[in-house]
Amino acid sequence: MDAIATPVFFTPTQLAECLQISIRTLEDWRLRGYGPPFLPVGKHVRYPQDGFEAWVAAGMKGPS
């Protein structure tokens, strides 16, 4: 039987630290429909690692 991978989630604090932005900026992005995908969990917000990585990859710019 194959093992099921457990998804990894970031808190807003962890993600803000990773991106070196404020938690308030993440809140603004959520309200504007911008930023990495998030998951509301009751009154909390979590950011799935795979969604965050895909969002970063989609925004990457190469040499022009």
The better pLDDT of the pair 7, 32 is held by 32
pLDDT at 64: 64
pLDDT at 48: 97
CA–CA distance from 41 to each of 10, 38, 47 (Å)? Answer: 12, 9, 10
pLDDT at 62: 78
The answer to whether 49 touches 7, Cβ cutoff 8 Å, is: yes
State pLDDT tens for residues 15-53. 999 999 999 999 999 999 999 999 999 999 999 999 999
The answer to whether 9 touches 49, Cβ cutoff 8 Å, is: yes
pLDDT at 60: 82
